[in-house]
């Protein structure tokens, strides 16, 4: 059993027979009354998000999770298709449940596919990725690394991020996938 004091972002728990992924949580100790935990949970079946409050110390059944290396093949409209690199078995995951993570994945790249109770449930991407800038305004003379200011840049996956003024088209940049912020040149 897993207790509320063992919660971590990304952990899967079963509540009332339904599997949820903990997106965020906060332990609250009010001045009066017992402590409790506020959580934001994503339902695995349809991707809906709910806010739920639990009493401190409440216990839940942990859900067995594992990751498997898979290669992202292509987008099949409403689903993303992945292939197991060892068995060549293909798996489809509904696009709406993994849309946020897929912004950082290019076709033919390897990812960790998250399996919950042997069913595909999500994609785990690295905390930072290196991508090529495909479209941005040109840098102007005098734009330096220390000179403040940013401009929008479109990356090869189609994501738009704010980059420093000195970054040009064709440059490779490192982006934090959790916040979508520019980190450095790659």
Give CATH for domain 65-124.
Answer: 2.40.50.140
Tell me if 65-124 shares its fold with 128-185: yes
Extract the tokens encoding 83: 């292939």
Are the C-beta atoms of residues 41 and 52 closer than 8 Å to each other?
A: yes
Q: How many angstroms separate the CA atoms of 96 and 12, rounded?
A: 19
CATH class of segment(s) 128-185: mainly beta
Q: Please tell me the predicted confidence (pLDDT) of residue 140.
A: 63
2-62 maps to CATH 2.30.30.30: yes
Q: Please tell me the predicted confidence (pLDDT) of residue 127.
A: 80
Between strands 172-176 and 36-43, the pairing is unpaired
Give per-residue pLDDT as tens, 88-110.
Answer: 888 888 877 777 788 888 888 88
Spans of the chain, pLDDT less than 50? none
Q: Per the confidence metrics, is the pTM higher than 0.75?
A: no
Domains of the chain, residue spans: 2-62, 65-124, 128-185
Return the number of other C-beta atoms located less than 10 Å from residue 68's C-beta: 16
Sheet holding 119-124, edge to edge: 90-94, 79-84, 65-75, 110-116, 119-124
Are the C-beta atoms of residues 39 and 15 closer than 8 Å to each other?
A: no
Q: How many angstroms separate the CA atoms of 149 and 68, rounded?
A: 41
Are the C-beta atoms of residues 35 and 4 closer than 8 Å to each other?
A: no
């Amino acid at each position: 059993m897993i207790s509320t004091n063992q919660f971590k972002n990304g952990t899967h728990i079963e509540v009332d027979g339904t599997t949820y992924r903990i997106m965020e949580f906060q332990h609250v100790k009010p001045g009066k009354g017992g402590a409790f935990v506020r959580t934001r949970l994503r339902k695995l079946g349809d991707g809906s998000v709910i806010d739920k409050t639990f009493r401190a110390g409440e216990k839940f059944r942990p859900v067995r999770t594992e990751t498997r290396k898979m290669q992202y093949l292509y987008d099949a409209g409403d689903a993303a298709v992945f292939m197991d690199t060892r068995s060549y078995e293909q798996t489809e995951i509904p696009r709406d449940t993994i849309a946020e993570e897929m912004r950082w994945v290019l076709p033919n790249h390897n990812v960790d596919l998250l399996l919950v109770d042997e069913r595909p449930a999500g994609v785990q991407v690295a905390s930072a990725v290196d991508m090529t800038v495909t479209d941005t305004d040109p840098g102007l003379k005098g734009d330096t690394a220390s000179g403040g200011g940013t401009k929008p840049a479109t990356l090869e996956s189609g994501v738009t991020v704010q980059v420093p003024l000195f970054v040009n088209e064709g440059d490779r940049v490192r982006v934090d996938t959790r916040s979508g912020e520019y980190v450095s040149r790659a």
